[in-house]
Structure 1
């Protein structure tokens, strides 16, 4: 592996900062105009860069959407992990799902993805995102932390359950808790539950 020079390190830092600036500008536009209604030219203008510069960081709109979703999923995953304290596996899964749903609904940057016209895109990205699956699988992994094919499959169902409740909410949180406990936890929980 080649040694990293201070010059290349600065370039990497600048690249990351520029990508973050673009994603931050996109977030503001998504909230103001909706995800699907926001074009790459709009994002470039809001970020203060040319379209050519934008396309150097994100080859197309789908790549930008995926990068945005990955960034926000990592942040959401960290917040959920910090706030869920239940030790019982069933209750831990239930609390994690409810916390994730609450967090998404409370954040306009995230909730906009589940509004009319944008929910289909959110569903597609959530169901095809390996990073979101990894976050779910890591959370579902047992005490040893191993993530196998079965855990990954359960993580897919966990993500689908969350997306479903975000796009078609229950009557209230108690109703959603009951659905999670009855229909989601038995499917995504460890086999021994």
Structure 2
């Protein structure tokens, strides 16, 4: 009997444990100050083991952001499923995404003063995030380049709201309703 499935399962569990340890450190110390040695120690593994799973600190950051983006995207999808109006749907999806990040100390740590740089770069450079945003936030019927550009723009708006919040939730919602919803509504027309 082959035990290959067990080794894959263990590898997944080890990677998750490492990402959980990194997340805790990001919340406590800030994203930019956490090094590979810190992560290995917090995860209870050697640096060699850590490097077996992640090539460098950026790889850990990227894996963490992708994991959390997938989790939030699943909740957003459930939340906006029945909203037919595209403008209303985008506003609901974006406000929910912002609220989800703000409610989680391990995620909002990425947007503290001086910390938003890595989050901004990852959000704009990641094909995974672009694909998720394209599926959640953009209307069907667009060409791939249009969908890609729109997904990056909407992601940039979310990152902006997290890094430089509006006056309050109502102010942010009004900005999305006034400036983002019309763009989405036109894209559906």
Structure 2-normalised TM-score?
Answer: 0.93
Contact 1:113 1:122 in 2 (8 A): yes
Establish whether residue 51 from structure 1 lines up as the match of residue 70 from structure 2.
no
Establish whether residue 116 from structure 1 lines up as the match of residue 113 from structure 2.
yes
The structure 2 residue matched to 1:158, chosen from 154, 158, 172, is 154
Following TM superposition, by how much is the alpha carbon of 1:150 offset from its aligned partner in structure 2, in angstroms? 1.2
Contact 1:140 1:151 in 2 (8 A): no
The structure 2 residue matched to 1:69, chosen from 46, 65, 71, is 65
C-alpha distance after superposition, 1:12-70 (max 9, x if no partner): 11111100000000011111111111111010001010001101100000111000000
List alignment gaps of at least 5 residues for structure 1.
none
Following TM superposition, by how much is the alpha carbon of 1:11 offset from its aligned partner in structure 2, in angstroms? 1.1
Q: What does 1:1-193 correspond to in 2, within 5 Å?
A: 6-84=2-80, 85-142=82-139, 148-189=144-185, 191-193=187-189
List alignment gaps of at least 5 residues for structure 2.
none
How far apart, CA to CA, are the structure 2 residues paired with 1:37 and 1:189? 42
Question: CA, structure 1 residues 38+75, in 2 after alignment: closer, same or farther (shift >3 Å)?
Answer: same
Following TM superposition, by how much is the alpha carbon of 1:140 offset from its aligned partner in structure 2, in angstroms? 3.4
How far apart, CA to CA, are the structure 2 residues paired with 1:113 and 1:6? 42
How far apart, CA to CA, are the structure 2 residues paired with 1:20 and 1:149? 33
Following TM superposition, by how much is the alpha carbon of 1:187 offset from its aligned partner in structure 2, in angstroms? 3.4
* Number of aligned positions between the proteins: 188
The two structures, once aligned, show a CA RMSD in angstroms of: 1.7
Structure 1-normalised TM-score?
Answer: 0.91
Contact 1:31 1:112 in 2 (8 A): yes
